[in-house]
Amino acid sequence: MTTVAVIGCTHAGTFATTSILAEHPDWTVHVFERNGTLSFLSCGIALWVGDHVSDPKKMFYSSPAALAEAGATMHMRTDVTSVDLDARTLTYRALDEAGDPAEQTLAFDKLVVTIGVLPPGSPPAIPPIPGIDSPHVLLCKNWDHAIAIKEKAKTAKSAVVIGSGYIGAEIAEQFSVTGVKTTLVDGLDRPLANNFDKTITDQVAAAFEEHGVTLALGQKVVEFRDNDDDTVTVVTEKGEYTAEMAILAVGFLPNTDLLKGKVDMLPNGAIVVDDYMQASAPGVYAAGDSATVFYNPTGQHDYIPLATNAVRQGLLVGRNIETPTVKYMGTQATSAVQLYDLSLAASGLTRAGAERRGLTVRETSLTEDYRPDFMLTTTPVTSILTWDPETRKVKGGQFCSKADISGAANVISMAIQAGFTIDQLANVDFLFQPHFGERPVPPNLRQAGLLRRRRGHEGGGRVRRLYPPQKRNPGVMGAGERKERRRKRLSYAACSAVITYNSNRFNATWALSGNRLGITARTGCCLFLEPIYRLALILWASSASHIAPVADITESAPASRYAW
């Protein structure tokens, strides 16, 4: 009979255990977890703090009892102290006072590692900052942390949140709307800087400031100092911030020291796994917080500890632990967050993320109303499309609006995973209904409207006006004149036209400067385009492979302005 040892049981461990037992109900599965609970949805901590959770018990989707009922042998509040891959044994000890303090040994045939948070006090998950063990400094990851934060928040009037990623930003938001004076500290110069580019994070920063949050960005914490009045002072490189509590929401790294030097790892300790979740050592599998993901936008192994990644990888462990069966499809790290009235969602690479990885991408952004202008209510949507200038493949998308635009990130995720180019994305069939936002009618209107032009066969960069604005119509030019223009590939520094396509009128003005193209467009018809679709259509229609994009494309009704 096969014996499996699963180390760590949050999301990946929970799903790995259930999937192994579902595939092999006659196997023996031992689960080791340092905490007393499992499957806790830490994304609910901020919601609970803000009293948006009906019952905190519902933030769990499984339990030790449920896994035991499925057939697992559970070792809760237990620490695995060593692993010997050659002997196929591990040693462990109970952390509870009621447990056996002596180390015990378990022999196993297969090993699954899913742990991602190092024990308290162990670097680098918890930085070795002086004073970090203060009772006023709280962590923000598991159920025990959630209870401590919730209890402290009942009476606290001030808080400093360290870390402006998703969890830190959400905690800071909930504190600020419940009357807690909040300071948000981060070593990066923008909130959510690892998730969104500046066009969107500027809106996030403005929302925080509007709600009274002090942003202490571009500052690293160097010390926590307890004060006599039951407060703590967070000392950074640039200032000091005093509050009744400090929340450490700085993320975490793989807890894989048990296998260091025994399997292939990234420099940060993430275990490199193949398409079937197997590590470089036979019989060893990794998933979730301890494992790499295959990041489809780059085609490389990466470390992206998201619950969605952990769940999928955990399920694959069970399917593949005996025989490689189901191949991992990779990830785009698709995610979303709600901050105040802003909905934010993203998938794939940001421009900053590409630069950190040494990659070259183009970024095109668009801001336009969510619904058609004839609707009584609407709101702007900021969309950013990231793409490879050589292959024209879609590499990422980001969205921000007061409307729910989270589904757009899923569209981009599918486009990246399917290997779509911006040209293909521009021709995808999307619905149109005014209540649900702007959609294309017809889908290739932009192609007809945005004429392909390149600087320079005549005029040498001088400003020329081929037609006075809206007085000549390329759509009704004679065949000979159109043929001559196509043959010469004429480019003009400033041109205007009214284009008619399928009985729709499209007024466009474009300008060329060097290899940069600016377009101002005003539609005389109902041109309903979902923001990200619109971006793809514009890029596709312009045959932009020879045009160097300007960083931003923005649009405002009733006029539209684009720039590459």
Which of 34-43, 98-107, 546-555 is modeled with the greatest confidence?
34-43
Averaged confidence pLDDT in the chain: 80
State the catalytic residue, choosing from 24, 30, 43, 211: 43
Q: What is the average pLDDT across 119-145?
A: 76
CA 209 from chain center: how many Å? Answer: 23
Say whether the peptide bond before residue 127 is cis (omega within 30 degrees of 0): no
Tens of pLDDT, residue by residue over 375-385, are 888 889 999 99
Q: What is the average pLDDT across 532-536?
A: 55
Instruction: Supply 260's token pair.
Output: 């260091």
Q: Give the separation between CA 255 and CA 125, rounded to whole angstroms.
A: 9
pLDDT band of residue 423 (cuts 50, 70, 90) is: confident
Q: What is the average pLDDT across 267-294?
A: 95
Residue 1 CB burial class (10 angstroms; 0-12, 13-18, ≥19): exposed
> Does the structure show a pLDDT above 50 at 449?
no
Beta pairing, strands 28-33 & 3-7:
parallel
> Does the structure show a pLDDT above 90 at 277?
yes
User: What percent of the chain shows pLDDT beyond 90?
Assistant: 63
Tens of pLDDT, residue by residue over 144-192, are 999 999 999 999 999 999 999 999 999 999 999 999 999 999 999 999 9
Encode 91-152 in three state secondary structure.
EEEECCCCCCCCCEEEECCEEEECCCCCCCCCCCCCCCCCCCCCCCEEECCCHHHHHHHHHH
Q: What is the pLDDT of residue 135?
A: 94
pLDDT band of residue 538 (cuts 50, 70, 90) is: low
Q: What is the pLDDT of residue 137?
A: 95
User: What percent of the chain shows pLDDT beyond 70?
Assistant: 75
Lowest mean pLDDT among 116-125, 169-178, 229-238, 243-252: 116-125
Q: What is the average pLDDT across 33-58?
A: 92
Q: What is the pLDDT of residue 101?
A: 77
State the catalytic residue, choosing from 9, 11, 140, 400: 11
Q: Give the separation between CA 11 and CA 13, rounded to whole angstroms.
A: 5
Residue type, 404: D
Strand partners, 509: 496, 520
43 assigned to active site? yes
Q: Give the separation between CA 352 and CA 169, rounded to whole angstroms.
A: 19
> Does the structure show a pLDDT above 90 at 434?
no
More confident position, 374 or 199: 199
Characterise 459 by phi-psi region: left (phi > 0), alpha (psi -120 to 50), beta (else). Answer: left
pLDDT band of residue 534 (cuts 50, 70, 90) is: low
pLDDT band of residue 420 (cuts 50, 70, 90) is: very high
Check: pTM over 0.95? Answer yes or no.
Answer: no
Task: Indicate the SS3 state at residue 532.
Answer: helix
Q: What is the pLDDT of residue 126?
A: 64
pLDDT band of residue 208 (cuts 50, 70, 90) is: very high
Q: What is the pLDDT of residue 430?
A: 80
9 assigned to active site? no
Instruction: Supply 341's token pair.
Output: 């009235």
Q: Which of 178, 185, 134, 231 is nearest to 46 (CA)?
A: 178
Tens of pLDDT, residue by residue over 497-526, are 333 333 344 444 444 333 333 434 333 333
- Answer positive or negative: Cα dihedral of 111, 112, 116, 120: negative
> Does the structure show a pLDDT above 90 at 99?
no
The residue written with tokens 């489809």 in the block is 296
pLDDT band of residue 373 (cuts 50, 70, 90) is: confident
pLDDT band of residue 536 (cuts 50, 70, 90) is: low
Say whether the peptide bond before residue 442 is cis (omega within 30 degrees of 0): yes
Tens of pLDDT, residue by residue over 288-320, are 999 999 999 999 999 999 999 999 999 999 999
Beta pairing, strands 362-369 & 300-302:
unpaired
Q: Give the separation between CA 562 and CA 99, rounded to whole angstroms.
A: 67
Instruction: Supply 306's token pair.
Output: 């998201």
Contact 361, 386 (CB under 8 A): yes
> Does the structure show a pLDDT above 60 at 479?
no
Q: What is the average pLDDT across 212-230?
A: 95
Tens of pLDDT, residue by residue over 338-357, are 999 999 999 999 999 999 99
